[in-house]
Chain A
Amino acid sequence: MKKVLALIAMAILPLTAAAHGPTPQKVEKEIVIKADSAKVWALVKDFGNLQKWHPAVASTKLETKKDENGDMQTYRTLTLKSGGTIYEKLRSADDKDMQLKYEIVSGVLPVADYNAKMTVKAGPGAGETTVVWMARFYRVYKLNPPIPAGQDDESALKAVTGVFEAGLPALKALAEAK
């Protein structure tokens, strides 16, 4: 049943190249971790192993293939513990700026045109590291009101907020574990 639901969700949210709504939404969360920034960055940039720290993710499948322009790109399929999958494309993992950028191609989150970045920086205190996770996205429904339930800005914001708020403390716990 869960599989069927996931397939339906995939059908509703195809490749997000078509039009999107007019108003981008944003979720930004940060956390301070008592660990070396290099250690935290190593966890964040490990695109193929999100299940290591995110509690909602059961497994991550990494693959490399050509995108629509014929360029080799890195993708991952996240299989969630609650069922369903999220298919994401790695945009960049910059060791100098310690910044990971990725986007959602398709999946169960009620969002469209989702792109996100995770930034790791040393501080504020000695031996501490701050992680900032920011996403910009649109609601699913692209047309004028009335907006169907579950496809509005609130649903999109709630889902992404849930992902971030579950993930960051778990990242902190893993990075601070001896």
Chain B
Amino acid sequence: MKSPSQKIAITITSLIISGFTSLCLAGSAYITNQGDNTVSVIDTNTNEVISTVKVGKAPVGVAVSAINHRAYISNVDGQSISVIDTNKNKLINTYPIKGSPVGLLLSPDSKTLYVADWTDDRLYVLDAISMKLQSEIKNGKAPAGMVMSQDGKKLYVANRDSNEVAIIDTTTRQTSHRISVGNHPFGLALSKNGHALYVVNVVSNSVSVINTTNLKSERINVGEHPYCVTASKDGLFLFVTNTQDDNVSVIELAKKQSIATIKVGEVPEGISTDEQSGNIYVANWSSNQVSVIDGQTQKIITQIKTGDKSRAFGQFILPSTSQ
């Protein structure tokens, strides 16, 4: 048995450690809430909403930058991009944009913001600080999810209504390859080493796994009407939101199949991995909450109340930059 004073000492020590941990490890998840035109900011250490930021109409897409200390939000019905200062969690400004912005992506150096226009079939290339339009890229129908190689040279775009992923050379801004996938590709993720691209095929109820070197692909079946995908911290598993099954499929990549489903909230859409804790965050559109999954045990840790119709399309977790 420990004495009362020992217990107090242990408690104080753990308080200091947890305080220290929150200083070092607290990342933030930026969750777009379509129905009330806000972004819920979740502290990924405490799993609590620490701030709610008003943005434009019907926010959907998210891109975050530790370099710029900014979160970029696409307001699809507002036809604008809102920029949030992530140090203060305050809105910096909202910039009008042509078309219907959905997918957002930052280049690895955070200098360039790519905006996918759902209805006018093109990408806008913006300076991520001045928000000035630099160029437009037309390459396929209804561009949605985007990811980029670590060296910033290759941009992968899911062209939903072309049933393909286009690879765009970011220097020439020309399409170098087109890869056929399933019907209506939407969310994308890239493995850490960049060797594998994961594509969610909404209407085919599957995920295409594409070898980015030889461009060969394989399909793995998931649940009904899947939207988005994220890889586990160790890269061995994929987690896929099944919007019409209210669950997340767990794919074991070595087995090339779904090995489990995890019940989450209703109509799960966006999904991202917190690279510090390894936890998986899922935005549930119909139940107005975020489900947090332990990446190791693959079980739900908690559900966090957010705003109306949470979507969070894109990589929405900003790692901590505190030292």
Report if A125 contacts B (CB, 8 A).
Answer: no
Residues of A within 8 A of B77 (CB): 22-23
Shortest CB-to-CB span from B186 to chain A, Å, is: 12
Contact surface of A with B, Cβ cutoff 8 Å: 17-19, 21-24, 26, 28, 91, 101, 115, 134, 136, 142-145
A21: which B residues are within 8 A, CB to CB? Answer: 119
When distances are taken between beta carbons in the complex, the residues of chain A under 8 Å from B244 are: 91, 101, 115
In the complex formed, the residue of B with least CB distance to A119 is B266
Nearest-neighbor residue (CB-CB) of A92 within chain B: B224
Chain B interface secondary structure, helix, strand, loop or mixed?
loop
Cross-chain contact A24 with B285 (CB below 8 angstroms): yes
B160 to chain A, nearest CB (A): 7
- A21 CA / B118 CA spacing, docked (Å): 8
Q: Give complex CA distance A136, B76 in Å.
A: 17
In residues 57-108 of chain B, which contact A (Cβ within 8 Å)?
Answer: 58, 60, 76-77, 79, 99-100, 102
Whole-angstrom distance between the Cβ of B286 and the nearest chain A Cβ: 6
Check: B232 CB closer than 8 A to any chain A CB: no
Partner of B60 from A22, A28, A101 at Cβ < 8 Å:
A22
B203 interfacial contact with A, CB 8 Å: yes
* Chain A binding surface, main DSSP class: loop
A17 cross-chain contacts in B, Cβ below 8 A:
203
CB pair B76 A22 closer than 8 Å: yes
Min Cβ gap B36→A in Å is 13
Shortest Cβ-Cβ A-B pairs, 4 listed: A22-B76, A22-B118, A23-B58, A22-B100
| A19 CB to nearest chain B CB (Å) | 5
Given A115-B244, A144-B120: A22 and B102 within 8 A (CB)?
yes
Chain B residues with CB below 8 A from A145, complex form: 79
Taking a contact as CB atoms under 8 Å apart, the answer to whether A23 and B34 are in contact is yes
Which residues of B are found within 8 Å of A142, using beta-carbon distances?
Answer: 119
CA distance A18 to B142 in the complex (A): 11
Distance to closest chain B CB from A112 (angstroms): 13
Residues 7-62 of B contacting A (Cβ, < 8 Å): 34-35, 58, 60
